[in-house]
Structure 1
Amino acid sequence: MINKKTGRAVILAGAAIFAPISAYADIVIKVGFAVGGGYDVNARLMANHLGRFLPEAGSIYVENVDGAGSLRLAKMMLAKEPADGTVIGSISSWFPVGATFDPALVGLDFSQLSWIGGIGTTQERLCAVSSSLGIADISDFAEQTFQLGATTSGTTDVITRLVQNTLHADFEIVRGFSGTAPVRAAIIRGELDGYCSLRVRDLEKVFEPGTMTAILQASYRPNLDLPYPLLRDLVEAPEDIEIVDFILSHELFQYSFALPPGTPEDILTVYRQAFDAMVQDPEFLAEAEKLRMQPSPITGAELEDHLDRIQKTPLEVLARAGAMLD
């Protein structure tokens, strides 16, 4: 099929997908974080490929709407973005889980969003510090004083607080960053000592080899072959393991995409079909491999199901989760 606007051939996986959005309308993927972080990179990866599975769409581009760890964009998506298929949002994976008990997210109902799907990642989330600190193990990490960077709210802040409270650690959390890219830049400049959202690839891709020391894994789906202890295994009270797993389950929403409330079902269906085809596409996977992104896709329906389970979490579990992050 030939796109009448661009004159380029459109490659479809399986049956043709016809978008019910306005013919040749441009689509913007709004990202709640600064340029250069994981959310931004995954949004640009999606922008490069989704159009081949939406033959009636115009250009697809990315707009960074950073602020408060993507809370600004989350509120925009829930309140005022058009529900006609022209705006897609990518917000913190923490919000769907955090909204069940986090005071900063009270009143936000993320089940209203129309979830397209998530690119996800198999890359584990690590806590890592500058090797110049001489920290070699959990004991040193918990007892020494240093500074870890975090966003204003969202995943990086939550993980760092969870690690600090689980280990009863003495490190300081420096908040206010708009994404992981500014955190990494501050570490490279020597203004911070580390952070707790580092991916395995970052040990060599972002930082000079040997300059960062990974201490532990704080992942919902950890890699047991890595030589770093799991956060859940460091919990003192056995009953709190359930709480750590609940908090870390937000990772299932990693690099996910959604449409605003009120989006017609036919538009959502088209986007879900296009997304599911895209994440299996050889060209998409080849670019992801080049970027060392290692996708672990999840469908929009699966995200909805997980969100439904989250919202049915008993109140006593939510109270304990809140206390663990206090």
Structure 2
Amino acid sequence: MIRYALRRVPSAILVLLVASVVVFAVPRLTQGDAVTALAGPDATEETRTAIRQGLGLDQNVVLQYVHWLRGLVTGDLGTSYIRKVPAVEAIGTALTQTITLTCAALLLAVVLGALGGVLLGTSRRPLVTRPVGALVSLSFALPPYVTGVLLVLALAVTVRLLPAGGYVGFGDDAGLAFRSLLMPALCLALPAVAVFARFLGASIRQVMDEDFVRTGVAKGLPRRRLVSAHIVPNALPPVLAVLGIQVGQMLGGAIVVEAIFAWHGIGDLLVNSVLNRDYVLVQDLLLLTVAVFVVVQTLTDLAHAAVDPRVRLEA
């Protein structure tokens, strides 16, 4: 297992290095720059030159990249051009909200997806499989911006059960924080619930045709024990890889969900930074997103290898 993990680390580092080059280059290929945003459209050329020198944008592009990369290694993420605060401070404040939202959505996706997958995979009664299958298909078909609006209309406007939006810290009011978190987390989790339930259901049906399951039935094992102790554990390995990919999908979907529910997280900060040509924050946020996805994917591969020894032997 340790050898397998060590073989995965170099590829992850290479992906991050390539991503850093792309992330650094893309903002500079777009029209406009931070100087225009800071100086304004009517600024003189002398003012623009002074601002460009103050930001270090007059240096060679390669030197700018090396300086930025050195800062990443040493923990200095730079200073936001527009906000005039360290990038670590701006990102840290937004990251708290995004992590809270993503973790809650991931928990809902695992719980609801596992429940739906087990029902789809083990039940043979149409009264169970058809409604569950319809809900799963609906969750998969509706994009988050449609689901979010429907949830707000149903739970905040019509029933008035949950707040329509806004972030509340658990340290301020735990009850209100939970109610404010539930609807955006559900909106973000629903596509992942559908994918997880479908893959788990298909994997369970495949495992149920194996000989060891028939042997367990012939020995008289209780159905609940057969499903929980033998069928579901053997159906999980192919689903773990899908779950890792869904975490990356959640990070992308968080931009839309945060806009709908007024969560000023990483997605909101990234959009504003792109519009303001704030290169420092754009670079840091994009690379942070890639790094999170790479780390999650690597941990998923390690978990897959831990539960399925064949992965370690084939690698």
User: Which TM class, normalised by the smaller chain length?
Assistant: under 0.3
Greater share of helix: 2
- TM-score between the two structures when normalised by the length of structure 1: 0.25
- TM-score between the two structures when normalised by the length of structure 2: 0.26
Greater share of strand: 1
Select the structure of larger CA radius of gyration: 2
